[in-house]
């Protein structure tokens, strides 16, 4: 009966050790690189004004002949 207890204890320790090893291996595994999501189309592209360097959505920017501007005043100031 005593041996049965010892064997059970050995199995218990072995089981704990194995679980620990598996957990360590899972933790050490490097995270897979995150794939670029297809939902990226909803992200607004930001552009910087060539005069004041303020960032604004491309849809709100004024595209001049010499660059991108935040307002008509800056477009005229830059001569574009
Ligand atoms: Zn500006």
Query: What pTM did the predictor assign?
Result: 0.46
pLDDT score for 36: 62
User: Rounded to whole angstroms, how far apart are CA atoms 65 and 47?
Assistant: 15
> Tens digits of per-residue pLDDT, 49-75?
999 999 999 999 999 999 999 999 999
Retrieve residue 21's tokens: 């090893």
How far does the chain reach from its first CA to its final CA, in angstroms? 94
pLDDT score for 35: 63
Strand partners, 74: none
pLDDT score for 38: 57
Cα–ligand 1 centroid distance for 39 (angstroms)? 30
Cα–ligand 1 centroid distance for 43 (angstroms)? 22
Chain centre to alpha carbon of residue 41: 16
Cα–ligand 1 centroid distance for 71 (angstroms)? 6
> Tens digits of per-residue pLDDT, 4-35?
888 888 888 889 898 888 888 878 777 767 76
Cα–ligand 1 centroid distance for 46 (angstroms)? 13
User: Rounded to whole angstroms, how far apart are CA atoms 36 and 7?
Assistant: 52
């Amino acid at each position: 009966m005593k041996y049965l207890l010892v064997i059970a204890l050995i199995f218990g320790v072995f089981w704990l050790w194995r679980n620990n090893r598996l957990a360590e291996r899972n933790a050490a595994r490097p995270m897979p690189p995150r794939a670029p999501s297809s939902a990226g189309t909803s992200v607004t592209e930001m552009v910087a004004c060539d005069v004041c360097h303020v960032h604004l959505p491309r849809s709100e920017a004024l595209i001049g002949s010499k660059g991108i501007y935040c307002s008509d005043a800056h477009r005229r100031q830059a001569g574009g």
